[in-house]
Every structure is written in structure tokens, then in C-alpha cells.
Amino acid sequence: MNGATGKFKAGDRVKVKFEDRPGHLRTPWYIRGKTGWIERVYGDFLNPESLAFGRDGLPKKTLYLVAFHHHDVFGKSPGAGDKVLVDIYDHWLEPTA
């Protein structure tokens, strides 16, 4: 989709890596380690974690809209069927069952 080079397609189940390293990390803390699915593939973009240090942002990384069940993220849900939607880059995601 969109000529994107990433590992995933819409509907794939994914787990967010629990990475913690120095630098500009584009995945918020609260979503690390959580499991969800690819809602949409946006396409390939310059890597902001590289651009943040004045570098060229290459190679480009695929950006996805990733969906999570609200209760899987926060343990409780204000409404049945509520989702949390987060933009996450390919290198932060791994496949899961």
C-alpha cells in the first residue's frame, strides 16, 4: 500500500517494542509493550528519530496508524469498543499472534 516498504499490512496483529534508549523516541511510553493491530498504512517517511539530531532521516521508515483496545492500554474502558489510535513507525513494531 502507498508503495510502503514496511513489514506490515492493514489488519496485521502487532506488538509495540518496549525499548528505552537515549535519543528522540517517537513512540509514547504508555503504548510500549502493548498489543494491537494495523489500522492503516500511511506510507514511508523520513525517520524523525534521525532528523531530530540534524541527520538525513534515511532510510525512510513506514508509518502506520495502529489501533489498540482501550482496555488493553489502560486496564479499564470508558465505553465498550473504544479504541486508542497511535501513529507508530515500523521499527517499533514486531509481529504477534
Partner 1 sequence: MPRGHHDVGGLPGAGPIDQSEHELSDWEILADAINQALGAKGVKRTDEMRRAREEMDSAAYRDMTYYERWIASIEAILIEKKILNKQEIDRKLAEFDSKWGEP
46: which DSSP letter? -
Q: Which is nearer to partner 1, 13 or 30 (by Cβ)?
A: 30
Rounded to a whole number of angstroms, the minimum distance from the CB of residue 57 to partner 1 is 8
Interaction residues for partner 1, span 12-31 (CB under 8 A): 20-25, 28-30
Q: Is 53 in the site for partner 1 (CB under 8 A)?
A: yes
Q: Which is nearer to partner 1, 11 or 78 (by Cβ)?
A: 78
Q: Give yes or no for a contact between 39 and 10, defined as CB atoms under 8 angstroms apart.
A: yes
Q: Can you read off the three cell numbers belonging to residue 90?
A: 515500523
Strands (E), 1-97: 13-16, 35-45, 61-69, 83-89, 93-95
Which residues of the chain form contacts with partner 1 (CB under 8 A)?
20-25, 28-30, 48-49, 51-54, 73-74
